[in-house]
Amino acid sequence: MTLEKIPTDFDFAAALLTWFNTHGRKDLPWQHDKSPYRVWLSEIMLQQTQVATVIPYFQAFIAQFPTIEILAAAPLDDVLLRWAGLGYYARARNLHNAAQAIVKLGYFPNTLPELLALSGIGKSTAGAILSIAFKQSQPILDGNVKRVLARFYAVSGWTGLGDVEKKLWAMSEKITPIEGCDDYTQAIMDLGATLCTRRNPRCVDCPMSTACVAFSTQTIDNYPSPKPPKTLPVKKIIFLMIHNEQQQIWLEQRPMKGIWGGLWSLPEVEMLADAENWCDEQHFTIQSQRILATQRHTFSHYHLDYTPLQLEVKSAKNSNFHTRQQWQNRALPAPINILLTENFL
């Protein structure tokens, strides 16, 4: 790290705020009313998700749950349905849990320890809430900020490593201003999202370029260091697409913990031979069956190769069978929604 190459008279925050006042985005849905609830919701939705994707989800979510009290009182199924397609569903479950905790508390927490005690809120998200909603000077370090600082200070190493992240936190704390922290927090996230992008950064338009070590040494592509490669394991399962003569689909709600927690999905078995045993246990009589092509869905830590087995069954049991209207109003994982849409609409 070559900090000596950064001009000692360069004011990071001042340069950033000057740029933001002219070029920053100020018309995003969550910027119109910077209430703690709206800021918190936007920050959770923006975790690992781009702004363009989040905007319609945020608008629809706020329309259905306009206050934290309404969110807290809503059934989790309704929350997950509104979140369906956005991914990383633990965010929705944590949001719902935290909303209930806040309502029970009687006020929206405005200190770092209180926010960190809530489900799904880490140090950077808490800092953004305190800065933007409460105008408290707090540093943040989301993915965009990590990239900006890694390039500006030429910090080597993958930003997910503990010692690298510690350095970046120290830098973020050092340059975060006391005054104007709300605009500053939005500005540094904006800079990373619009100019200091992962690929093809627009350095010639960046207000930091005159002091950016990576730019001055023409080593932009070296920062931040890529995540060490990792071979993802592959899990293979069979989805049972069970329907009756009325074309109603059998769906089950998944456990709250784990992948797709709380969402409605198809039964799973490990082998084709297990499908008949599963149907026997449910007292289903198989009328016909058809194997569909195997597909892949990739999670952050493994590949899921799934083979849909379409089964028409006869059964007096109808507790988990869903009509088209019913399953269209369930919170379904994206691959399951696609399967049902392609085969039963």
Positions annotated as catalytic residues are: 43
Separation between Cα atoms, residue 262 and residue 264, nearest integer Å = 7
Separation between Cα atoms, residue 247 and residue 289, nearest integer Å = 14
Separation between Cα atoms, residue 109 and residue 106, nearest integer Å = 9
Q: Which two tokens stand for residue 283?
A: 């007292």
Separation between Cα atoms, residue 137 and residue 235, nearest integer Å = 45
DSSP 8-state code for residue 3: G
Alpha carbons within 13 angstroms on the beta-carbon side of residue 149 total 27
Phi, psi of 310 (to 5 degrees): -90, 125
Q: Is the peptide bond before 224 cis (omega within 30 degrees of 0)?
A: yes
Separation between Cα atoms, residue 326 and residue 319, nearest integer Å = 12
Separation between Cα atoms, residue 337 and residue 319, nearest integer Å = 20
Separation between Cα atoms, residue 184 and residue 17, nearest integer Å = 6
Separation between Cα atoms, residue 83 and residue 69, nearest integer Å = 18
Number of H helices, E strands in the chain: 15, 9
Separation between Cα atoms, residue 53 and residue 5, nearest integer Å = 38
Ramachandran region, residue 88 (left: φ > 0; alpha: ψ -120 to 50; beta: rest): left
